Amino acid sequence: MTKQISLTIDNKKITAPEGANLLQVASENNIAIPHLCYHKKLSPTGACRLCIVKIENQRGLIASCTVQVSDGMKVTAFDGELEEARKYLLDWLLSEHDESHDNSYDDAFRELVHRYGLDKKENRLFPSIYKELGYPTDESSPVLSYDAAKCIKCFRCIKGCDEVQGKNVLSFTNRGIISYIIGGFDNWGESECDGCGECIQLCPTGAIVEKPHRSAINLLNGIQKVRTTCPYCGVGCQLELFVQDGKIVRSNGVEGVSPNDGRLCVKGRFGYDYVHSPERLTKPLIKKGGKFVESSWDEALDLVARKFSEIKEKYGRKALAGYASAKTTNEDNYLFMKLVRKVFGNNNVDYCTRLCHASTVTAMLRSLGDGAGSNSIEDYAGSDCILVTGNNMIETHPVTATFVKYAVQRKGAKVIIIDPKWTPLVKDAHIWLQPKLGTDVALLNGMLRVIISEDLIDREFITKRVDGGLQAFERLKALTGKYTPEYVKAITGVPAHLMTEAARVYARAGSPLIATGMGYSQQVTGTHNVFCLINMMLITGQVGRRGAGLNPPRGQNNVQGVSDVGASPFTYPGYIPVEDEENLRHIARIWDVPFESLDSKKGLSTIEIMQAAYEGSVKGMYIMGENPMLTDPNLNHTEEAIKRLDFLVVQDIFHTDTTPFADVILPATAFAESEGTYVNSDRRVLRVRKAVDPPGQARQDWEIITEIARRMGSPLGNYRNESDIWDEIARTAPIFAGISYDRLKDQGIQWPCPDKDHPGTDTLFLEQFNTPNGLGKLHPVDYAEQNEQADETYPFILNTGRILYQYHSSTMSRRNKALTDFANQAYVLMNPGDAERHGFTQGQKLRIASRRGLIEPIAVKISNEVLPGELFMPFHYPEAPVNRLTRDEMDPYSKIAPFKLSAVNASPYKG
């Protein structure tokens, strides 16, 4: 624990941690020393000199932002000499500064000018010279404007880009009084700036301001600020939305709050315009005569209730199924699964986790007893080794990546990347292992063999915390014995010395974290991939302490929460199996239903539901906030399955690729129109708050769900608000028992939280695993070749994934000009050698075909980011629906499809 010391500032006695920053200590004790260049997230600069103080027994006026406090220190923060010096410094800065202001941004410099009376020109010593200096402006970025005439050279933008975001895109050009900020080597638009906006939020003068809505924003005219949670990836960044005249006009990161501490990515800062899109669904729609017509809510809900009831009566309760949504709140999803279980009468409820991290969750549940990340996102900043497997986190979880880059760039941590495709984090990596697609089990078994043969195991951990102890370890040792570096290289293509070094670095690390992504999970061997990771983690003892463990970053805002609250065919809230009789009786009492009415058999998973629809055993579906006609595998089969349904309801905020097949479309609310909670990737329950009203007649999802249930004759309960729903969730899921809306007011809480006095759990498995006997379980698995291989007809293996500027099926992200200005075109990546052999040129339109379907036309990007014989396509774009090519074969454990491995061919487009 840091030693506490005493000091005085202007005769006020203060206690502070020894070595703390003097300016920060003053601020925390309500002593407002003027400053512009200092920010608590950044290293001190001392550039503006406004924070000068006097310190007893030290000469001169000292910049307090550069001073560490010590015991007995006596500080003078305000006297006549200091105030006169500050006024002089401000006057000098003001002479080089364009004073014009449009009230669209906060301006700390302007506030100080007013505070010191310099807004009156008769109080100034220096004439204005900024026009003579010829400062430039830069409008080349899609999302921000830079005006050098408003820049005071405080370094905050440069340091924020470097120290917080880890990107180091910004710097000064020229020298002295005519220096100014540039992006890259010239301007923002041609630089590597990805639009995160950290520089905007840190700028104290308005030199850097966001472009979207600037002309409409007037901070003096009734701006409402609402804190909520970002609707994009699973980091759960805390946002402060600026609302003016009923519309969101700005989004800032909330400082000092986990998990993001003010950081945002380009989507979190600029991806909110979709909320106000004119394309929003605003009224219920019913298909009549093959066309959608507007209807009243009563007509639509009565039709839905009647059709679902008729199907249940005619074909039995298992003829109905539902897709829940990772984009909506826990409260929405809890009631959705309650409707399926209580009203439909079955467990046929699933959602997109079956298409992303199901393999990870399955392996972790079987081996560790919990399927969620074991550590906190900010733990990456203190890690000395981060093993990143199949996870392009800089693009898919950019804020998490900032903590990783901090560990590497500031603390000397080593990043090991296992990925067949180049990702931006490779630039910070110690080692990049680039295995051929589908060979991960062989590679990891090879790493296990290195660890075992070099005696890098933790015998004490194995003995005390692994089921079967050393006997189980010996079985793993025997299986991995054949995975010599030469054998592994023959399968994977990974050089022996790199694999060996990676194994050593991980095993010897003091605080290693594994960040495993969908590159590992979206395979028919996905569960085996994660078993191997867990095997490596267990035999080295690299779990069960702060800063060590396994963490799957969730791809959507509430993927974690939807599983947590039980929207799964296999588990009730809190991951309690549907077969668990004691829990079923407990649920029955809470829901006030007969125990016998609850189905005790596992339901159908996402892909199985579509197969059942194709085969005719599922007749009716309720899809909430999902778009299977773009995101499901083997879309030709999915389309045929959906067409065979007797009745389909789609509930969403926009028309999607799926809504044309619906019989009824119900308009729902977006994140900023909703109240509730999400759970992020590190198990943190976070509040979602309403900032604006929904368009037209759109309703929050849970309100629609309860009305359908009531009209089907089986009300779900008398809920006054979202807090009531959450309280019921907390009664059904022991992991949430101690969490309430009151406790979530200021900070999120990480589950498990068993009672109201519990602070939440930042690290899992400290004393035991969550398995029945408290021990981790090894699962030795052998490498097996994929069923689908490249051949003469289909010579390429296709990989799919995400990019930074789009999200999921792009229904949200593509309705934001700030995002589409960065990236809005589908493409396929191809290795230069392959392009040369086939005669393809950069940007050429191609036809890509698999055994299941084809896509045309699509532009080729020739790049070394992929290995020879492998292709990559993002899956976001409806005009290039990559899942026309993928197959719906399933991992036998997790029921996930192999989105990452499809044999395809490529030929010139001749349309």
Q: Which pLDDT belongs to residue 369?
A: 94
Cα→Cα distances 305→193, 299, 348, Å: 51, 10, 18
Indicate whether 609 pLDDT > 90.
yes
Helix (H, G, I), strand (E, B) or coil at 579: coil
The whole-number pLDDT of residue 475 equals 98
Q: Evaluate whether 648 touches 663 at the Cβ level (below 8 Å).
A: yes
Mind listing the pLDDT tens digit for each residue in 760-789?
999 999 999 999 999 999 999 999 998 899
Sheet with 238-244: strands ordered across: 224-229, 238-244, 247-253
**68: which DSSP letter?**
B
Tell me the pLDDT tens digit for each residue of 240-290: 999 999 999 999 999 999 999 999 999 999 999 999 999 999 999 999 999
**Which residue type occupies 9?**
I
How would residue 30 be classed by pLDDT, with cut points 50, 70 and 90?
very high
* pLDDT tens digit sequence for 713-743: 999 999 999 999 999 999 999 999 999 999 9
- Where do the H-state alpha helices sit in 847-897? none
| Residues 183-228 pLDDT 10s | 999 899 999 999 999 999 999 999 999 999 999 999 998 899 999 9
d(CA 573, CA 861): 45
Cβ neighbours of residue 657 under 8 Å, at least 6 residues apart?
A: 627, 629, 630, 809, 878, 881
- For 38, the token pair is 């200092």
Query: What DSSP state is assigned to residue 716?
Result: -
Q: What is the pLDDT of residues 277-303, one digit of tens each?
A: 999 999 999 999 999 999 999 999 999
Provide the pairing of β-strand 647-652 with 144-147. Answer: unpaired
Instruction: Tell me if residue 534 falls in helix, strand or coil.
Output: helix
User: What is the rounded distance in angstroms from the CA atom of residue 229 to the CA atom of residue 251?
Assistant: 11
- Residue 857: exposure state from Cβ atoms within 10 A (0-12, 13-18, ≥19): middle
Average pLDDT (108-113) is 96
| Whole-angstrom distance, CA of residue 412 vs CA of residue 384 | 7
221 C-beta neighbours (distance < 10 Å), count: 9
Residue 238 token pair? 């805390």
Give the 3-state secondary structure of residue 210: strand
Residue 2 DSSP label:
P
CA 656 to chain centre: 22
Point out which residues pair with 668 in neighbouring strands: 699
Q: What is the mean pLDDT of the chain?
A: 96
Task: Give pLDDT tens digits for 36-88.
Answer: 999 999 999 999 999 999 999 999 999 999 999 999 999 999 999 999 999 99
Joined together, the tokens standing for residue 546 give: 């702060």
CA 263, CA 41: separation in Å to the nearest integer?
Answer: 10
pLDDT digits (tens, 9 = 90+) for 432-459: 999 999 999 999 999 999 999 999 999 9
Q: Would you state the pLDDT for residue 122? A: 93
- Rounded mean pLDDT of 384-391? 96
Task: Give residue 562's pLDDT.
Answer: 96
pLDDT in tens, 490-529: 999 999 999 999 999 999 999 999 999 988 888 889 899 9
Peptide linkage before 398 cis (omega within 30 of 0) = no
Chain center to CA of 334: 21
Stretch 298-323: mean pLDDT: 98
pLDDT (0 to 100) of residue 263 = 97
Number of H helices, E strands in the chain: 28, 36
632, burial (CB in 10 Å: exposed 0-12, middle 13-18, buried 19+): buried
Q: What is the pLDDT of residue 197?
A: 97
Domains of the chain: 214-276 (2.20.25.90), 285-356+558-750 (3.40.50.740), 358-551 (3.40.228.10), 796-908 (2.40.40.20)
Q: How confident is the model at residue 895 (pLDDT cuts 50, 70, 90)?
A: confident
**Strands 320-323 and 620-624: what pairing?**
parallel
Residue 3 is given by DSSP the state: P
Are 532 and 445 in contact by the 8 Å Cβ rule? The answer is: yes
* pLDDT given for residue 358 in this prediction: 83
As given in the structure block, the two tokens for residue 652 are 């969403």
Q: Cis bond leading into 142, ω under 30°? A: no
414-453 burial: b if 16+ Cβ within 10 Å, else e: bbbbbbbbbbbbbebbbbbbbbbbbbbbbbbbbbbbbbbe
Q: Please tell me the predicted confidence (pLDDT) of residue 521.
A: 84
**Residue entry with tokens 């070094």:** 501
Question: What is the reported pLDDT for 292?
Answer: 98
Burial, 44: exposed, middle or buried (Cβ in 10 Å; 0-12, 13-18, 19+)?
Answer: buried
Distances in Å between the Cα of 454 and the Cα atoms of 5, 476, 503 are: 48, 15, 10
β-strand pairing of 684-688 with 676-679: antiparallel
Strand partners, 146: 138, 208
Place of tokens 């998490």: 400
- pLDDT the model gives residue 207: 97
In contact, 899 and 827? CB cutoff 8 Å: no
Rounded distance between C-alpha atoms, residue 158 and residue 156, angstroms: 5
The token pair that represents 45 in the structure block: 């600069």
**Rounded Cα gap, residues 461 and 117, in angstroms:** 67
Average pLDDT over residues 223-238: 97
Q: Which two structure tokens, joined as six digits, stand for 415?
A: 């990043």
DSSP state at residue 466:
B
Three-state DSSP class for 553? coil
Statement: residue 1 has pLDDT above 80: no
Q: What 8-state DSSP symbol labels residue 825?
A: -
